[in-house]
Amino acid sequence: MSQHHFNFSYELFADWNQLSESDQTLVHQALSAMEKAYAPYSNFKVGASVLLETGQVICGSNQENLAFPSGLCAERVALNYVGANFPGVTIDTLCVVARGELMPDEQLLSPCGGCRQVMLESENRQEPPIRVILVNQDQRTMIVHRVKDLLPFGFGK
State mean pLDDT over 29-38. 98
Sequence letter at residue 41: Y
Report yes or no on 113 lying in a domain: yes
Alpha helices in 35-144 (DSSP H): 74-85, 113-124
The pLDDT of residue 98 is: 96
Closest of 132, 138, 104, 107 to residue 118, by C-alpha? 132
Between β-strands 10-13 and 91-99, what pairing exists: parallel, antiparallel or unpaired? unpaired
- Whole-angstrom distance, CA of residue 113 vs CA of residue 124: 16
Looking up residue 138, the CATH number of its domain turns out to be 3.40.140.10
Whether residue 69 has a cis bond before it, omega within 30° of 0: yes
Alpha helices in the chain (DSSP H): 21-34, 74-85, 113-124
pTM: 0.95
- Count the Cβ atoms, other than its own, within 10 Å of residue 145: 14
Report yes or no on 14 lying in a domain: no
Report yes or no on 11 lying in a domain: no
Report yes or no on 156 lying in a domain: no
Report yes or no on 101 lying in a domain: yes
Report yes or no on 15 lying in a domain: no
Sequence letter at residue 80: N
Report yes or no on 75 lying in a domain: yes
21 is catalytic: no
Report yes or no on 5 lying in a domain: no
pLDDT at 157 over 80: no
The pLDDT of residue 5 is: 86
What total number of domains does the chain contain? 1
Structural domain span for residue 132: 20-150
Confidence of residue 107 (pLDDT cuts 50, 70, 90): confident
Q: Which of 35, 75, 101, 106 is catalytic?
A: 75
